[in-house]
Amino acid sequence: MTPGIRPLIAGNWKMNGTLREAAALAEGIRAGLDRSPDADLLICPPFIHLHVAAAAMGWKPVAIGAQDCHPKASGAHTGDVSAAMLADAGVAYVILGHSERRADHGETDALVQQKAAAVIAAGMVPVVCVGETEAQRDAGEAESVVSAQIAGSLPPDFAIAKGVVAYEPVWAIGTGRTPTEADIASMHDRMRAEVAARFPGLGEGTRLLYGGSVKPSNAVAILGLPNVDGALVGGASLKAEDFLAIAAAVPAP
Ligand code: PGA
């Protein structure tokens, strides 16, 4: 954790589930929230499940996020969804530049930066993902890859809009493997220094999440590391009790 920063626990549901399952998952989280967690909570269903998840969540203070958007506000972009449309639908956060989108759709840092600017212009908060592949880590390039992604993917108004950065080593996503605590801490220290240098006076307060095989059994250790201000959770966020257990692992302020 970073003193003074309220943590964020975000669930990335990816391309999973039916309408009924999305509603049941949101309802399970709502029903299990028996006390206020020491963190902001966020669920990011697929576009087509945003509405039912939000409706099932009801008044509980769990924000709704999307997993991508188009950089343009509207127009001839078949199959895409704009930031303005998401804001209109009650979305508060948008995950951008996830490694699966970078890999599956060839998304570049420049495109991620345009999307983040669009999200901010629409009044929402971007959650920009960065992270090295296993080959890059083995080659000793992890830190330089992440630094370049941060430099290229964050628009100028990122910190003032309270943008969030998620460090997600590609080789740790969905694999059950995680970096050592020392490796997570040293990457987050470096990320902190970079956002602080890029956004003087504001970057010190930027939320830096860790993502990649976060689960109830490792959440206490990961969330206790310096400069780890929350988690972006994939697989474990598909079970309400696991997501809530991770939220409950946030250290008290
Ligand atoms: P995982 O996914 O928790 O299933 O590893 C994390 C993510 O891709 O955001």
Tens digit of each residue's pLDDT (9 = 90 or more) over 68-79: 999 999 999 999
> Is 1 among the domain residues?
no
Split at pLDDT 50, 70, 90, the class of 37 is confident
> Is 175 among the domain residues?
yes
CATH for 86 = 3.20.20.70
Number of structural domains in the chain: 1
Instruction: Please tell me the distance between residue 190's alpha carbon and the centre of ligand 1 in angstroms.
Output: 22
Q: Which two tokens stand for residue 17?
A: 């589930």
> Which uninterrupted H or E stretch holds 230?
strand 230-233
Q: How far apart are CA 148 and CA 141, in angstroms?
A: 11
> Is 179 among the domain residues?
yes
> Is 86 among the domain residues?
yes
Angle between helices 109-121 and 142-153 in degrees, nearest 10: 40
Name the one residue in this structure whose structure tokens are 């948008």.
94
CB atoms within 10 A of CB 151: 12
Q: Which residues are catalytic?
A: 98, 168
Greater model confidence, 127 or 252: 127
Q: What is the pLDDT at residue 94?
A: 98
Q: Per residue in 94-134, pLDDT tens?
A: 999 999 999 999 999 999 999 999 999 999 999 999 999 99
Q: What is the pLDDT at residue 234?
A: 98
> Is 227 among the domain residues?
yes
Q: Which two tokens stand for residue 29?
A: 């989280």
> Is 245 among the domain residues?
no
- Asked if residue 34 has pLDDT above 80, the reply is no
- Asked if residue 32 has pLDDT above 80, the reply is yes
Q: Whole-structure pTM over 0.85, yes or no?
A: yes
Shortest-distance Cα residue to atom 6 of ligand 1? 234
Q: Per residue in 150-206, pLDDT tens?
A: 999 999 999 999 999 999 999 999 999 999 999 999 999 999 999 999 999 999 999
> Is 249 among the domain residues?
no
Q: How far apart are CA 222 and CA 240, in angstroms?
A: 20
- Asked if residue 35 has pLDDT above 90, the reply is no
Q: Which two tokens stand for residue 233?
A: 């959770």
What is the domain extent for residue 122? 8-239
Q: Give backbone dihedrals phi and psi of 40, rounded to 5 degrees, phi first.
A: -75, 145
> Is 32 among the domain residues?
yes
- Asked if residue 243 has pLDDT above 90, the reply is yes
- Asked if residue 63 has pLDDT above 80, the reply is yes
Instruction: Please tell me the distance between residue 123's alpha carbon and the centre of ligand 1 in angstroms.
Output: 26
Q: How far apart are CA 151 and CA 169, in angstroms?
A: 17
Q: Is 162 left (phi over 0), alpha (psi -120 to 50) or beta?
A: left
Instruction: Please tell me the distance between residue 76's alpha carbon and the centre of ligand 1 in angstroms.
Output: 32
pLDDT average, residue stretch 84-94: 97
Which residues are registered as beta bridge partners of 40?
A: 8
